[in-house]
Structure 1
Amino acid sequence: MKTLRLFSVLLALVSLSGCAGLFIAGAATTVNIATDPRSTQEIWKDNNLELDITGLANKTPYQYQMRITAKSYRGTVILIGQSRTEDMLRQFVGQVEQLQGVKELHNQVKIKEPLSFGQISNDSWITTKVKSALLAKGELNGVKVSVITEDSEVYLFGYVSREHAAIATDVARNISGVTQVIKAFQYAD
């Protein structure tokens, strides 16, 4: 009987923890939308643009020839990653420029072999450290800064004041493993 009761309690806790996770994830999404100065339609368009670019990078002839991350903010797109050849990258950039919704394009893709799994894992760890440090910084409370790390270079995005951009840049610059910080902010002031 005690075993059945213990099993029931454990099952209930596991079930509730799943609900809590969904609740927290939903709340986090709501907070992101509430603090983002873009309209819901702009957010939707930017997300779709990022998905379109990622989808294009995963199709022939680009698949396995490049590793691309795209970030869009109000139609301003930045491409980050690696391409094995300049010709392949030029062709890819030309197709991205033709996508509906691309207003401005910044190409930060480097001509080199795509990153290894180990390098990608290291970048994920650096991103985690930068995001944690940004969250801990009191002056950035309520400020949404997106972080992407590529080959130990940290890209910072968001719609922020110049003061907040300087603080976020300083925080990222002082994280171990970061070789460079690239500011890709849009400024509110």
Structure 2
Amino acid sequence: MSSRSDIERHHSTKSCRQNNRAYGICRTLVLAGICILPLSGCTSFVIGAGATAGVAALQERGFNGAVSDSAITAEIWQKFLAQDEKLFLDIEIEVVEGEVLLAGQVESTADELEAVRLSWQVDGVRSVHNEMSVGSGLSLMDNAGDLVITTKIKAALMFDGDIFAINFSIETVNGTVHLMGIAQNERERDRVIAHARETSYVKRVVSHIRLKDDANRQGA
């Protein structure tokens, strides 16, 4: 006869699997949305494709750059999903002007190398920043904490009148904040980094922010 602790452990395991499955379904739906509306991602479901296109046009990378980056993101996600569902679920992707950021926690070095290899197969990719770590999967509590951190930083950037928040992307994995985007100048870049560092529970900040006049920018 099963003990009470065995029953509780069974229910806990089942709950985690159900939550992971739900997350996978949600992410698949988001991917489908990106494939249908390359500009939009999640935003299109809320404000519509027309408004999203307007937002893209206001970004420093411009309308065409936003289209290209969204297409690259969607194709990388598709390759991950076709290769191994774990890659699709465990890795976060940000793309700015063809620069790809891969962040997350994968199960093995082989998975890490495979993710980088697949990313380089996509047309338009100019560089790949590997910020993945190898280890056991993050808990739901860790994921929730990361989401809170990202949300706080985004809010701080939006309410800072000296920062054009629309130009920056943020990914948080296990307390490490990854920043990408295009800053108008060093002062703006430093303010973005400072907001991230000053946010509660942030362990580390990794910046891949480029300056507007950086000669290495695509089309610069």
TM-score when scaled to structure 2? Answer: 0.68
Which amino acid in 1 is paired with 2:196? Answer: A
Count of matched residue positions in the alignment of Structure 1 and Structure 2: 168
State which drifts further: 50-59 or 135-144: 135-144
CA RMSD of aligned residues (A): 2.5
User: In the alignment, which residue of structure 1 is the partner of 2:192?
Assistant: 168
1:117 counterpart (118, 121, 140):
140
Superposed, 1:35-184 pairs within 5 Å as 35-60=58-83, 62-64=84-86, 67-141=90-164, 144-160=167-183, 161-184=185-208
Partner SS, residue 118 of structure 1: helix
Percentage of pairs with the same residue: 25
Structure 2 residue aligned with 1:14:
none
Q: CA 1:114–1:52 in 2, change beyond 3 Å: closer, same or farther?
A: farther
1:97–1:136 CA distance, 2 compared to 1 (3 A): same
Write the distance in 2 (CA, Å) between the matches of 1:68 and 1:50.
12
The amino acid across from 2:144 in the alignment is S
C-alpha distance in 2, partners of 1:179/1:137?
22
Q: CA deviation at 1:119?
A: 1.1
Partner AA of 1:130 in structure 2: I
Q: Structure 2, unaligned stretches of length 5 or more?
A: 1-43, 214-220
| C-alpha distance after superposition, 1:118-145 (max 9, x if no partner) | 2111111111111111122222256632
Task: Give me the whole-angstrom Cα distance separating, in 2, the residues matched to 1:39 and 1:141.
Answer: 14
1:64 CA displacement: 2.7
- Superposed displacement of residue 29, structure 1: 2.6
* Structure exhibiting the larger radius of gyration computed from Cα positions: 1
Give the whole-Å Cα distance in 2 for the aligned partners of 1:188 and 1:154.
Answer: 21
Q: Is residue 38–residue 74 contact of structure 1 (8 Å, CA) maintained in 2?
A: yes
Work out the CA distance in 2 between the residues paired with 1:99 and 1:30.
23
Aligned in 2, Cα 1:142/1:74: closer, same or farther, shift over 3 Å? closer
CA displacement at 1:37 relative to structure 2: 2.0
Structure 1 residues 137, 39: CA separation in 2 closer, same or farther (over 3 Å shift)? closer
Greater than 4 Å deviation, 4+ residue runs = none
Cα distance in 2 for partners of 1:142, 1:153 equals 20
